[in-house]
Amino acid sequence: MQVGDQVVYPMHGAGEITGIEECEIMGTVKQYFILQLPIGGIRIMIPTDNTEGIGLRQISPPETIEQVAEVLQQPGEKPVGSWNKRFHINLNRLKSGDILEVAAVIRNLILQDRRKRISGGEKRLLDLARQIFLSELSYALAGSVEQAEEWLMEQIDKKDN
């Protein structure tokens, strides 16, 4: 990975590597990628020697976005257990960093919320999943976050038609 690459950092979303800096932390000097996220203007430092360990990856290619559309158009999975159990299952899916898993979490929570209001914890998880998903989708589709949001809702609503 290098400066200018667009990448996804699981649990944070997609951004662009804008630089590499050396930093001394607890007596150890390391190089860090500077990742600038478009949503919220967040700047994250990621050790250059641990990108694989934390799941940093390139933006999904167009053929994966077609698979994402298929996931979003599938019927939602039947809710299992208490909201707390579902929350932890969905959180682990987000931590995977896999855009297809993130899409499934969003689809399930949106559809569940339409049927019966989801809990506050699940609503916050849905907001986080959307932020992660939309930041990557906006890069993958070379558009804005608003265009990505519109595309997302079109895909979910297609399954109802």
pLDDT, residue 105, reads 94
Tens of pLDDT along 126-159? 999 999 899 899 888 888 888 889 998 888 888 6
On the question of pLDDT at 41 being above 60, the answer is yes
Indicate whether 161 pLDDT > 50. no
Give me the domain span that covers residue 42.
Answer: 6-58
Residues 37 and 66 in one domain: no
Per-residue pLDDT at 119: 84
Q: What is the pLDDT of residues 94-112, one digit of tens each?
A: 988 899 999 999 999 998 8
pTM of the shown model: 0.83
Q: Is residue 77 part of a domain?
A: yes
Quick one: which H or E segment has residue 47? strand 43-47
- Distance, in Å, from the CA atom of 147 to the CA atom of 90, rounded to the nearest integer, reads 25
In-domain check, residue 131: yes
* Domain-located, residue 140: yes
Do 50 and 68 sit in the same domain of this protein? no
One domain, residues 96 and 28: no
With beta carbons less than 8 A apart as the criterion, state whether 32 and 48 touch. Answer: yes
Looking at the structure, tell me whether residues 153 and 102 fall in a common domain: yes
> What distance in Å separates the CA atoms of residue 43 and residue 28, rounded to the nearest whole number?
21
Task: Kindly tell me if the per-residue pLDDT of 116 is higher than 60.
Answer: yes
| 141 contacts: CB under 8 Å, gap ≥ 6 | 65, 147, 148, 151
- Nearest residue to 55 via CA among 98, 16, 6, 116: 98
Q: Per the domain annotation, does 1 fall within a domain?
A: no
- How many distinct helices (H) and strands (E) make up the chain? 6, 5
Domain with residue 22: its CATH number is: 2.40.10.170
